C-alpha cells in the first residue's frame, strides 16, 4: 500500500513523526509513504527544526505555498498536490487535523478518486466561523478512513451521518470506515518526553501562546487578552512569540508588562521542556490544550469553544474566551484536578492505524 501524506504545519509534523516512524520501522507490513510539505509553515523554527528534532524524513516534495489569504494559499496547495497525485498514483492520501493543507489534500484526492485517510477525525468546536472547523468538517465528509482520537469524536461523526458501514471492499468517500484509534499526539508525548535531558531553568511560570486568527485579527479580542495579562502581574508568563504575532501586537500598539517574558519561537523538544516545567498553560492552541493535559498541567483556553470538550468536562481545561474578568479569575484560581482520567487511548495509535489500513 503506497500512501501520499500531506503536512504543512507544526502540529502535523508532530503527528507525522509518530506514524511515519512506525511505517519505517515496520516495513514488513508493506506500507510505503511519500511526504508532501505544503510549505504552510516555512521558516526554520516552524518547519525545518521539527524534521531534524523528530527524525522525520525530510520531504522530497515542498510546494512552498507560504502564508497569505486562505483562498490563495489553499489554491496553490491544491494545484501542487493534484500534480503529485497524478505523478505518484498513490493508493490513498493521508491528512492530519484541520489546516488549509488538510483541506487542500482532501479536495485534490477526492476529485481524482483517491481514498482519503483522515487522522484526528470527528473533532468539532461547533463554530463554523472558524476556518479550522470548516476544514475538518469538509475533510471528514470527503474521507474514507476516519481515525478518531476520542469517543466524542465518533459521536460527532454519527450525528452528521458518518458511520462505519463498510458496505463493500472498495474504499471510497461513500463507504466509510470509522475507528476509535486514540490520540496520536498522546503517543508522541510518551515518546518524546524521554528525549528531554533537562527541564527549563525557569520556575513558577505560566506558559503562554497566542496564534489563532480569531484573536490576532480582531483588535478588540487581542486588546482584551493583553489587558488581562498585564493586570496579572503577580504571575510570571513565558511567551514563545512568532515574529508575525509580534508584528500584529506592534501594529495595534499593544505591549506586555515586564512580568511577561517574550522569547523567540522554539522547537518541539524545547517546548516540551517548558510544558513539563510550567505551573499552567494559557493558550488558544488546540494541540497545546492536550499537551498541557499530557504533562498534567491545568490549561486556560482563550477561545469561545474547544473541540477537546472532554478536557473541560474533566476539569483540566477552562474556557474563558477573551473576557478580561474571566481570564483574570481563571488564572488567579488555577487548580490541579484530583482525578486524571485516561482520555486519549493507550498510546498505540500508529499501530492501530496501520493494522486497519492493511486489513
Which sequence positions are flagged as catalytic? 211
Q: Which of 132, 128, 48 is nearest to 97 (CA)?
A: 132
Q: How many angstroms separate the CA atoms of 299 and 320, rounded?
A: 11
C-alpha cell at 283: 493558550
What is the residue-wise DSSP string for 261-300? EEE----HHHHHHHHHH-SEEEES-HHHHHHHHHTT--EE
Residue 137 contacts residue 113 (beta carbons within 8 Å): no
Question: Measured between alpha carbons, how far is residue 193 from residues 190, 264, 271 in Å?
Answer: 6, 22, 11
Tell me phi and psi for residue 92, to 5 degrees: -160, 155
4 pairs with which residues across the strands?
34, 93
Q: How far apart are CA 214 and CA 43, in angstroms?
A: 22
**How big is the chain, counted in residues?**
359
CA dihedral 95, 56, 60, 173 (to 10 degrees): -10
**Separation between Cα atoms, residue 164 and residue 267, nearest integer Å:** 38
Q: How far is CA 208 from CA 123, 156, 236, 353, in A?
A: 23, 30, 10, 33
Query: HSE-up of 209 (CA within 13 Å, CB side)?
Result: 23
Amino acid at each position: 500500500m503506497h500512501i501520499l501524506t500531506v503536512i504543512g504545519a507544526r502540529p502535523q509534523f508532530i503527528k507525522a513523526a509518530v506514524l511515519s516512524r512506525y511505517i519505517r520501522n515496520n516495513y514488513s507490513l508493506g506500507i510505503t509513504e511519500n511526504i508532501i510539505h505544503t510549505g504552510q509553515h516555512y521558516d526554520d523554527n516552524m518547519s525545518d527544526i521539527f524534521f531534524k528534532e523528530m527524525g522525520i524524513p525530510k520531504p522530497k516534495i515542498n510546494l512552498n505555498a507560504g502564508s497569505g489569504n486562505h483562498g490563495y494559499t489553499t489554491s496553490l496547495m491544491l494545484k501542487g498536490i493534484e500534480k503529485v497525485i497524478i505523478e505518484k498514483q498513490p493508493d490513498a492520501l493521508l491528512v492530519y487535523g484541520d489546516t488549509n493543507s488538510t483541506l487542500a489534500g482532501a479536495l485534490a484526492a477526492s476529485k481524482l478518486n483517491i481514498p482519503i485517510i483522515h487522522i484526528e477525525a470527528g473533532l468539532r468546536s461547533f463554530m463554523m466561523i472558524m476556518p479550522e472547523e470548516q476544514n475538518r468538517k469538509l475533510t471528514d465528509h470527503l474521507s474514507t478512513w476516519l481515525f478518531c482520537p476520542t469517543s466524542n469524536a465518533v459521536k460527532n461523526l454519527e450525528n452528521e451521518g458518518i458511520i462505519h458501514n463498510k458496505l463493500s471492499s472498495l474504499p471510497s468517500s461513500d463507504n466509510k470506515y470509522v475507528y476509535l484509534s486514540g490520540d496520536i499526539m498522546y503517543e508522541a508525548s510518551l515518546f518524546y518526553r524521554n528525549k528531554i535531558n533537562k527541564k527549563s531553568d525557569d520556575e513558577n511560570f505560566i506558559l503562554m501562546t497566542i496564534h489563532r486568527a480569531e484573536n490576532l485579527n480582531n483588535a478588540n479580542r487581542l486588546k482584551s487578552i493583553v489587558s488581562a495579562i498585564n493586570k496579572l502581574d503577580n504571575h510570571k508568563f513565558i511567551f514563545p512569540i512568532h515574529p508575525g504575532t509580534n508584528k500584529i501586537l506592534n501594529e495595534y500598539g499593544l505591549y506586555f508588562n515586564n512580568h511577561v517574558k517574550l522569547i523567540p519561537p522554539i522547537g518541539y523538544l524545547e517546548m516540551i521542556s517548558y510544558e513539563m516545567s510550567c505551573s499552567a498553560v494559557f493558550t488558544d492552541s488546540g494541540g497545546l490544550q492536550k499537551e498541557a493535559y499530557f504533562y498534567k498541567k491545568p490549561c486556560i483556553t482563550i477561545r469561545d469553544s474547544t473541540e477537546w470538550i472532554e478536557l473541560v468536562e474533566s476539569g483540566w481545561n477552562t474556557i474563558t474566551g477573551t473576557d478580561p474578568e474571566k481570564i483574570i479569575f481563571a488564572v488567579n484560581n488555577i487548580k490541579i484536578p484530583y482525578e486524571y482520567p485516561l482520555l486519549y487511548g493507550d498510546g498505540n495509535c500508529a499501530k492501530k492505524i496501520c493494522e486497519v489500513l492493511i486489513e
